[in-house]
């Protein structure tokens, strides 16, 4: 059986190699002097404030933009970025940021800035997502899912310009995760001058599709389903050694991405399939970086639809599946079993947390007690894209479908293209969905609040559409202290509540991989958000 599997993999890879070799033609200087990254899909837009998709973050957050703060990749420590220092008041409510001077915005064919970054850009960038009255708030749809899921706008009392290079942010209540949230992929700083320029021209929506930032690369062009092109920002304030050019080669098929990597058509690839890891490890000139992931793959139930509004029905479905088999069949040893939302890399991880076990007899009894008769039908939505937290949702859905059949439930698997899929999820058309979350910082609140708080339902990140006031109270209580021991004790209460209610079934915490050619220098895995090509160069 294994030999047959290997033969099939070899046939697929050989075919893909032929396609890659035949399709490769002499391109412009991007393929010779720049870095080519094989991406898995199209970004929704070029402003990560508007979208929580990893594809959008990868294409924008660390290539085009900067943030006030950043994470030190090895430790997760919050470090200066566009803010070179900050002070916090004794009551924990007021944050004063001293901004970095002489930071240039991009000069492109469509915009030439007349000034450098200053406090006006910070006020514009934050007030856009927090104030409904802001002239840009409703541009491009007026949805800011990350900030909405955390309730950040409601907790900010004011954002004030002290002078050109000092900004003060005052909160309504203490929030021990506030600085971490300012360092995430979504807290990017836009150009207020560029925004005003577009507003004057009557085309404000261009700010999200023709971006201007302070990052290591500036936007050049984009052709959907084909490529994104960037040029190096020669005026980047960090003065990193960075490739002159960067191209995202949009290649949805994993085997073709690998083929392009082998034939040097791509220098790095997104989301290598689990079945390809050994090929990469054993291939000369290829490198595979690996790190434990700050992520969670899960099965969420739409708790606003009967009978999934009944915790006993959700528990029955959780007991109907064998998580260990799902891990073996989908992750091939590249993930650990999830008991809670938090992975082992989190400081708040609870090793002795309760977990569901495979028990189809108990599952059927719970269903009978809840009045769910044999023959009941439901849907399992499976994400149509590869993600580290779930590299093959379709296969996992098929396995769960069989498990459910064993307890008398007929499940239909549903999928759409990624944009339609996410829109319908937000509309609540699903019974259940296989999806997940990759954390944007190391704070536990970054898992618990976006995924299951009441405030995260309108934003679309709460796929279970579950609202529990006790849960929200515990989350808010945890942010009122900087004491990690106290916070950890509160999160243990949260874990117990989630085990009793089971709005989602945690399945796996996956490792993160980055496959690339050994000509690249400075390529690393960013544990806290999207891929970074600033500071990466290519040996000639």
Least confident span in 188-197, 358-367, 401-410, 453-462? 453-462
Share of the chain above pLDDT 90, in %: 82
Burial label, 90 (beta-carbon count in 10 A; 0-12, 13-18, 19+): exposed
Residue in the structure block whose two tokens are 């054993």: 282
Q: For residues 181 and 177, what is the distance between their CA atoms, to the nearest angstrom? A: 6
The secondary element (H helix, E strand) that includes residue 320 is helix 311-320
Query: What is the phi/psi pair of residue 448, to 5°?
Result: -65, -45
8 A C-beta contact, residue 452 and residue 137:
no
Question: How big is the chain, counted in residues?
Answer: 540
pLDDT of residue 476: 95
Which option is the CATH number for 48-208: 3.30.499.10, 3.40.50.800, 3.90.76.10, 3.40.1050.10?
3.90.76.10
Query: What is the phi/psi pair of residue 156, to 5°?
Result: -90, 115
Give the mean pLDDT of 141-163: 95
Q: Tell whether the model's pLDDT for residue 534 goes beyond 50.
A: yes
Q: For residues 264 and 219, what is the distance between their CA atoms, to the nearest angstrom? A: 24
Least confident span in 19-23, 63-67, 94-98, 191-195? 19-23
Identify the band that residue 386 occupies on the pLDDT scale cut at 50, 70 and 90.
Answer: confident
Residue 168 has, within 13 A of its CA and on its CB side, a CA count of 11
Cα→Cα distances 508→60, 111, 322, 341, 356, Å? 27, 45, 12, 9, 13
pLDDT tens per residue, range 258-310: 999 999 999 999 999 888 999 999 999 999 999 888 899 999 999 999 999 99
Q: Tell whether the model's pLDDT for residue 489 goes beyond 50.
A: yes
Q: Which CATH class is domain 295-512?
A: alpha beta
CA 128 to chain centre: 21
Q: Tell whether the model's pLDDT for residue 40 goes beyond 50.
A: yes
Give the mean pLDDT of 161-177: 97
Identify the band that residue 1 occupies on the pLDDT scale cut at 50, 70 and 90.
Answer: very low
Closest Cα to residue 74, out of 527, 440, 536, 521? 527
Q: Tell whether the model's pLDDT for residue 11 goes beyond 70.
A: no
Least confident span in 6-15, 113-122, 411-420? 6-15
> Strands 376-382 and 409-414, how do they pair?
parallel
Query: What is the chain's mean pLDDT, rounded?
Result: 92
Give the mean pLDDT of 323-343: 94
CA 460 to chain centre: 13
Query: What is the phi/psi pair of residue 301, to 5°?
Result: -105, 140
Give the mean pLDDT of 440-456: 92
Give the mean pLDDT of 141-151: 92
Least confident span in 51-55, 328-332, 336-340? 51-55
pLDDT of residue 73: 81
Identify the band that residue 439 occupies on the pLDDT scale cut at 50, 70 and 90.
Answer: confident
- Pairwise pLDDT comparison (486 vs 422), residue with the higher score: 486
DSSP string, 16-51: HHHHHHHH----STHHHHSEEEEESS--S-S-GGG-
**The tokens of 143 are what?**
């949805």
pLDDT of residue 292: 84
Closest Cα to residue 242, out of 540, 539, 536? 536
Contacts of 136 (CB under 8 A, 6+ apart): 124, 128, 195, 199, 204, 207
The secondary element (H helix, E strand) that includes residue 162 is strand 156-163
Q: Tell whether the model's pLDDT for residue 20 goes beyond 50.
A: no
Taking every pair of C-alpha atoms in the chain, what is the biggest distance, in angstroms?
70
Give the mean pLDDT of 139-144: 96
The domains of the chain are located at 48-208, 295-512
3-state secondary structure of 440: coil
CA angle 472/474/478 to nearest 5° reads 115
Identify the band that residue 241 occupies on the pLDDT scale cut at 50, 70 and 90.
Answer: confident
Give the mean pLDDT of 223-239: 96
Give pTM, 2 decimals. 0.82
Identify the band that residue 10 occupies on the pLDDT scale cut at 50, 70 and 90.
Answer: very low
What residue spans of 338-483 are helical by DSSP H? 360-369, 393-406, 418-426, 445-452, 469-478
pLDDT tens per residue, range 47-78: 999 998 889 999 999 999 999 999 988 788 89
């Amino acid at each position: 059986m294994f030999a047959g599997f290997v033969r099939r993999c070899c046939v697929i890879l050989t075919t893909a190699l032929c396609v890659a070799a035949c399709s490769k033609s002499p391109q412009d200087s991007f393929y010779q002097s720049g870095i080519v990254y094989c991406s898995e899909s199209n970004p929704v837009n070029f402003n990560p404030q508007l979208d929580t998709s990893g594809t959008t973050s990868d294409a924008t957050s660390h290539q085009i933009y900067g943030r006030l703060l950043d994470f030190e990749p090895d430790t997760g420590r919050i470090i200066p970025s566009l803010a070179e220092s900050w002070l916090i008041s004794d009551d924990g409510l007021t944050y004063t940021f001293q901004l970095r001077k002489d930071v240039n915005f991009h000069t492109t064919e469509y915009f030439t800035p007349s000034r450098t970054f200053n406090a006006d850009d910070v006020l514009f960038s934050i007030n856009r997502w927090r104030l409904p009255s802001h002239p840009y708030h409703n541009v491009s749809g007026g949805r800011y899912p990350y900030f909405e899921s955390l309730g950040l706008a409601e907790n900010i009392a004011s954002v004030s310009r002290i002078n050109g290079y000092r900004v003060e942010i005052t909160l309504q209540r203490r929030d021990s995760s506030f600085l971490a949230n300012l360092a995430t992929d979504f807290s990017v700083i836009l150009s207020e001058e560029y925004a005003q320029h577009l507003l004057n021209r009557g085309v404000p929506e261009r700010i999200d599709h023709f971006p201007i930032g302070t990052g290591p690369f500036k936007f050049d062009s984009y052709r959907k389903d084909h490529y994104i092109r960037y040029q190096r920002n020669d005026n980047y304030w960090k003065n990193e050694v960075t490739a002159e050019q960067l191209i995202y080669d949009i290649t949805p098929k994993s085997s073709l991405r690998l083929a392009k990597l082998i034939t040097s058509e791509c220098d790095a690839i997104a989301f290598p399939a689990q079945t390809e890891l050994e090929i990469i490890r054993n291939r000369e000139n290829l490198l595979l970086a690996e790190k434990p992931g700050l992520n969670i793959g899960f099965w969420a139930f739409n708790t606003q639809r009967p009978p999934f509004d009944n915790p006993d029905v959700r528990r029955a479905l959780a007991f109907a599946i064998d998580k260990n088999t799902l891990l073996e069949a989908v992750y091939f040893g590249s993930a650990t079993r999830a008991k809670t939302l938090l992975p082992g890399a989190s400081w708040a991880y609870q090793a002795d947390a309760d977990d569901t076990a495979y028990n189809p007899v108990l599952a059927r009894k719970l269903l009978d007690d809840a009045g769910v008769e044999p023959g009941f039908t439901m849907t399992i939505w499976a994400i149509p894209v590869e993600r580290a937290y779930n590299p093959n949702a379709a296969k996992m859905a098929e396995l769960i479908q069989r498990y459910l059949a064993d307890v008398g439930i007929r499940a239909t698997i549903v999928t759409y293209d990624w944009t339609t899929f996410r829109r319908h999820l937000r509309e609540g058309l699903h019974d259940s969905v296989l999806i997940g979350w990759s954390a944007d910082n190391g704070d536990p609140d970054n898992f618990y609040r976006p995924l299951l708080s009441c405030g995260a339902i309108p934003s679309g990140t709460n796929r279970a559409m579950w609202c529990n006031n006790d849960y929200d109270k515990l989350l808010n209580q945890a942010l009122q202290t900087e004491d990690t021991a106290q916070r950890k004790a509160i999160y243990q209460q949260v874990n117990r509540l989630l085990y009793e209610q089971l709005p989602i079934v945690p399945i796996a915490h996956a490792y993160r991989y980055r496959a690339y050619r050994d000509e690249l220098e400075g390529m690393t895995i960013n544990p806290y958000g999207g891929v970074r090509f600033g500071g990466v160069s290519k040996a000639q």
